Amino acid sequence: MKKLFSSQDAFELQAIRSELDALSIPYMVKNEFASGAIGELPWQDSQQEVWLVDDSWYARASKVVDAFMQNSHDVKNVKEDWRCKQCGEENGGAFEVCWQCDTSPHN
């Protein structure tokens, strides 16, 4: 058996599990129910981990993790908030034009 992925974030772990399930890659989850022991055990010992049941799947399974991590990194690199040069309104990074006056930040 080979460790593939670990995370304290249940959503990340579930995303990896869903992808592995979709590809019929056999795995097991260690420490799935250990979160209740945090405080009595060090956090490293209670972190959920995805392990491959069969090491021959590692190349394909690691591509799943790499793609997830790249996608996760891209999502975290959202644009920063900006102030409109036209009206001075503060805009969130998701806005491509000022929500107040429709001015582009590139004008």
Kindly report, residue by residue over 34-58, the tens digit of the pLDDT: 665 555 666 566 678 999 999 999 9
Record the pTM: 0.58
The residues pairing with 38 across neighbouring beta strands, listed in sequence order, are 41
Q: How confident is the model at residue 19 (pLDDT cuts 50, 70, 90)?
A: very high
What is the average pLDDT score of the chain? Answer: 84
Domain borders along the chain are 2-76, 78-107
Q: How far is CA 94 from CA 77, 84, 90, in A?
A: 11, 13, 12
What pLDDT, on the 0 to 100 scale, is given for residue 88?
A: 92
CATH of domain 2-76: 3.30.70.790
Q: Is the pLDDT of residue 76 over 60?
A: no
Q: How confident is the model at residue 32 (pLDDT cuts 50, 70, 90)?
A: confident
The H-or-E segment that residue 29 falls in is strand 27-30
